[in-house]
């Protein structure tokens, strides 16, 4: 059920997203959302009042929230839903006034999904911070290795072409590394997906190597066209390289799919890019998005194509995944929100 996460980068953004959903779909209910960090209250929803502060004090002083499992707690006229982090610490709570049995069932369903989403976001954020430290250390180490390689060439290599090739590689590496480490500044505009794909194929002269039959369904993206085109080209170039020598065109298909979460409105576009090459060992699928990972380093590839493509798609609220094809080849699946998604 949790196929797509809302485009919230922090747990508090996810809390706000849930509050907006509740206000839009349960407008007849009175509720507060508060951060559990002692007094005074830190309210998340904008309609919190002095009365809310009194409610907050009653709930926190009652110790009902301490050592409680996820699920509703009844106290006086309020039904309280605590929100725990993935390491089981109480972080927030939602308090609803005078819930009827019918509304209780509906709210409980929403809060169960929300708790699952919250756990995912907090765990992913923790893992991301941990891996980021490791990645930065690896990036510095790799650059030092490449610079040492260039110094060795300068000392021992008489072939100026080898030196020029190494310098060209380092120039591309620095450009890719800056894209990977810097925060992306998105300049969004609307574009039809068909126009976007045909534009990328024309720019790189790939029309003879790719088969693309556009869907008749309207599919408009609100995106940074230059960045999305760059990411799409990175995925396509891998597929085209995989098809070299087999006389087969890369296939592109796309379809519209609905959102499966309470907290995300609108629809999504799934773009599938399929090649018929040899594929790669299954152990490599998890590493494919790591920086510097490439099976073609001897050809001058930096190993940042899929890493930066994933970063660009993620910045737009989307994702990129790779799947093996039967009997051979790889399917790259890109998920992006349509222009009407919120």
Radius of gyration of the chain (CA): 25
pLDDT band at residue 327, thresholds of 50, 70 and 90? confident
- Decide if pLDDT at 203 tops 50: yes
Average model confidence (pLDDT) across the chain: 78
Domain 11-123 shares a fold with domain 186-337: no
| Mean pLDDT of the 294-303 span | 74
DSSP reduced 3-state for 338? coil
Over residues 135-161, the pLDDT tens digits come to 666 666 666 666 666 666 666 655 677
**Structure tokens that stand for 158 in this block:** 């008489």
Which sequence spans correspond to the domains of the chain? Answer: 11-123, 186-337
When pLDDT is averaged across residues 149-178 and rounded to a whole number, the result is: 71
Q: What is the pLDDT of residue 40?
A: 41
Give the pLDDT score at 135.
Answer: 66
Which tens digit of pLDDT belongs to each residue from 255-274? Answer: 988 766 555 567 889 999 99
Say how far apart CA 295 and CA 266 lie, in whole Å: 38
CATH class belonging to 11-123: alpha beta
Beta-carbon contacts of residue 8 (< 8 Å; ≥ 6 apart): 14, 16, 17, 121
Residues forming beta bridges with residue 191, ordered by sequence position: 221
* Separation CA 177–CA 291 (nearest Å): 9
The pLDDT tens digits for 18-70 are: 888 888 888 888 887 877 654 444 455 545 444 555 665 666 555 555 555 66
Is 186-337 a CATH 3.40.50.2300 domain? no
Reported as type and span, the H/E element at residue 190 is strand 189-192
């Amino acid at each position: 059920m949790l196929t797509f996460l809302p485009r919230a980068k922090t747990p508090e953004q996810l809390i706000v997203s849930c509050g907006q959903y509740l206000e839009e779909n349960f407008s007849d209910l009175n509720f507060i959302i508060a951060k559990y960090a002692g007094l005074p209250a830190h309210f998340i929803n904008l309609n919190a009042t002095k009365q809310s502060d009194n409610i907050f004090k009653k709930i926190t002083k009652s110790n009902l929230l301490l050592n409680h499992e996820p699920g509703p707690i009844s106290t006086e006229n309020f039904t309280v839903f605590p929100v725990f982090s993935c390491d089981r610490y109480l972080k927030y709570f939602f308090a609803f006034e005078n819930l009827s049995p019918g509304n209780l069932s509906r709210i409980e369903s929403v809060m169960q999904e929300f708790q699952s989403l919250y756990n995912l976001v907090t765990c992913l954020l923790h893992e991301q911070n941990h891996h980021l430290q490791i990645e930065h250390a690896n990036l510095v180490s790799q650059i030092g290795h490449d610079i040492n390689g260039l110094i060795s060439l300068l000392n021992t290599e008489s072939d100026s072409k080898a030196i020029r090739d190494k310098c060209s590689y380092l120039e591309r590496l620095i450009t890719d590394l800056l894209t990977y480490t810097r925060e992306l500044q998105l300049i969004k505009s609307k574009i039809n997906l068909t126009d976007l794909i045909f534009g990328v194929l024309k720019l790189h002269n790939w029309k003879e190597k790719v088969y693309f039959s556009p869907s008749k369904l309207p599919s408009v993206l609100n995106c940074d066209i230059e960045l999305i085109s760059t990411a799409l080209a990175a995925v396509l170039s891998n597929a085209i390289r995989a098809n070299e020598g087999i006389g087969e065109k890369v296939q592109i298909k796309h379809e519209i799919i609905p959102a499966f979460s309470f907290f995300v409105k609108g629809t999504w576009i799934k773009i599938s890019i399929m090649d018929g090459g040899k594929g790669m060992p299954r152990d490599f699928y998890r590493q494919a998005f790591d920086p510097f990972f490439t099976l073609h380093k001897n050809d001058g590839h930096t190993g940042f194509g899929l890493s930066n493509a994933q970063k660009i798609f993620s910045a737009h609220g989307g994702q990129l995944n790779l799947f093996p094809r039967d009997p051979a080849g790889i399917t790259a699946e890109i998920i992006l929100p349509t222009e009407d998604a919120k």
